[in-house]
Amino acid sequence: MPAPRPEPFRDYAVPAGYDEAFDAAGNVRPAYLDAFQRFGAYGLREFQRRLHLIELIFRNQGITFTVYGDAAGTERSFPFDPVPRILEATVWAHLEAGLRQRATALNRFLADVYGPQEVLEDGVVPPELVLRNGAYRPQVRGTPMPHGAFTHVLGTDLIRDGDGRFMVLEDNARSPSGVSYMLANRGVMARAFPKMMAAHPVRPVRHYPSELLETLHSLSPRDVPEPVVVVLTPGPYNSAYFEHAYLAQQMGVELVEGRDLFVDEGRVWMRTTRGRRQVDVVYRRIDDDFLDPTVFRADSTLGVPGIVDVYRAGRVGLANAIGTGIADDKAIYAYVPALIRYYLNEEALLPNVETLRCADPDVLEHVVAHADELVIKEVAGSGGYGMLIGPESDAKGRAAFVKQVRANPSNYIAQPVIQLSTHPTFDPARQAFDPCHVDLRPYVLVGDQIRIVPGGLTRVALKRGSLVVNSSQGGGSKDTWVLAAPGERPSDEGGPPPNGDGPGWAPPGVVAEEGS
């Protein structure tokens, strides 16, 4: 007989489709039962106190994101929901295998299109989709890549359909963001709910910065014990600046802007108070267009003049490689299952969402006729921008968007509306838990080997019924718990963090947890 629902979830309305925490009959899934019972034991007042603790931690640590074009201001604390998403070991094993397969195929594809281009000659991908694509960079064709890796940090967005099947929504192969929030989410959960975390065999994510640094070290052209790595940022006005600074600090490397680097004698150098220092690897958070004004945009003041020549000569490593945007173009996305078959002779473990290319005239007419039923996206769009969610649009907005599609159909794809899985999420206004849509962005590191930290960033549409999970569009995030397999002992992530504060740490004036 199913256990009764814990008190805070007694009135939770399980929606149609797949809910992460409740089955179709309304019973709590086994992985969630203990956590929900613990939430029930807190009571509303104690739960609110812990929410206040989490808010203070985010504020005191400066964990923010930027929204452009908002009259209320651009920078704000990152929205966080304290109910963790929980994935069992068998589920994660499937996802991890699918992510490895996809990362391998995408890197093989990039090595091919910037090399012999056999995939184009064999007709697996139409040549015009690559060679006429704005993300393709012929200037770097033939540049040797250590380990054959091009996209060294890959963020693949996963969704779950109404049957609970994981699917790939899109790949982010240029400069995927959000990993700092994954790490921050785990930190605040360990501090606000340490005993809850200790009661579950949660696999750790804290080692991501060291895994990233090892991946970057493997790209060094110099055989030295400690290659010099820097994080190249556009500066503090960039929407992901917090992440750039956070990752540099966690890896123990310098955070630099373009003006801090220069090229001389065929090398890249960093200006320091003790003179110049040779740089081996640049983890760049600057788009291709702005990286080198002598090769790409001449008006860029963000990049480093001459760095592309050093890169082509194999004297500096860049992560991610120049030109990786072709691998996350939404038109190329439609061909990834075929790329997996072509390069690996395997079927995709994680399927795509059905994708319609508007460049096909017949498809275009179908998309236009059914715009109120589809999601239409720019092929190079990101962050929730450049897209139309048909069922949520009005006639005027839909007509304006369709006009843009007709003007440049090759710039758009369309997909059916997938009702993303839902997850219990706390609504402060109602003081209750609502089913809100979620996705998952795991992070795959590719260098001398493939490294995947268990979990990723679960993004949540904080507005009930909304399908938009991007923080820039009003979404938030959750901690993602991947449970260890039976017999596996995950490291204790509820223990003291590197600065020596214990799991019950709280800012001054806030009482730390005693009873969870």
Per residue in 349-382, pLDDT (tens digit) is 999 999 988 888 888 999 998 998 899 998 876 6
Is the pLDDT at 496 greater than 70, yes or no? no
DSSP state of 343: H
Contact 136, 130 (CB under 8 A): yes
Residues 6+ apart with CB under 8 A from 199: 34, 38
What pLDDT score does 492 carry?
57
How large is the greatest C-alpha to C-alpha distance in the chain, in angstroms? 74
User: For residue 187, what are the CA distances in angstroms to 99, 242, 454, 477, 484?
Assistant: 25, 16, 15, 13, 19
* 403 found inside a domain: yes
Give CA–CA dist 383/177, Å, rounded: 10
Give CA–CA dist 245/276, Å, rounded: 22
pLDDT in tens, 265-312: 999 999 999 999 999 999 999 999 999 999 999 999 999 999 999 999
How far is residue 289 CA from its own chain's centroid? Answer: 22
> Other CB atoms closer than 10 Å to residue 67's CB: what's the count?
15
* 295 found inside a domain: no
Can you give the CATH number for the domain in which 409 is found? 3.30.1490.270
User: For residue 28, what are the CA distances in angstroms to 6, 37, 384, 410?
Assistant: 9, 10, 32, 45
Nearest CA among 496, 55, 448, 400 for reference residue 216: 448
Instruction: Kindly state the tokens that stand for 114.
Output: 């910037």
Give CA–CA dist 92/96, Å, rounded: 6
Domain that holds residue 369: 356-416
Helix H or strand E encompassing 154: strand 153-160
End-to-end CA distance of the chain: 27
Give CA–CA dist 233/240, Å, rounded: 9
Confidence of residue 332 (pLDDT cuts 50, 70, 90): very high
Nearest CA among 208, 86, 112 for reference residue 155: 208
Least confident piece of the model among 58-72, 189-203, 330-344: 58-72
Is the pLDDT at 467 greater than 70, yes or no? no
* 209 found inside a domain: no
Please state the rounded mean pLDDT for residues 200-206. 95
* 367 found inside a domain: yes
What pLDDT score does 511 carry?
32
Is the pLDDT at 153 greater than 80, yes or no? yes
* 473 found inside a domain: no
What pLDDT score does 348 carry?
98
Give CA–CA dist 182/216, Å, rounded: 20
pLDDT in tens, 216-230: 999 999 999 999 999
Is the pLDDT at 66 greater than 70, yes or no? no
What is the DSSP secondary-structure string of 80-148?
A: B-SS-EEE-HHHHHHHHHHHHHHHHHHHHHHHHHTTT-HHHHTTSS-HHHHHT-TT--GGGTT---GGG
Nearest CA among 135, 167, 90 for reference residue 348: 167
* 139 found inside a domain: no
Please state the rounded mean pLDDT for residues 147-161. 96
Beta bridge partners of 173: none
Is the pLDDT at 75 greater than 80, yes or no? no
pLDDT in tens, 87-102: 999 999 999 999 999 9
Residue corresponding to tokens 């267009």: 289
* 404 found inside a domain: yes
Please state the rounded mean pLDDT for residues 446-470. 85
- Domain count along the chain: 1
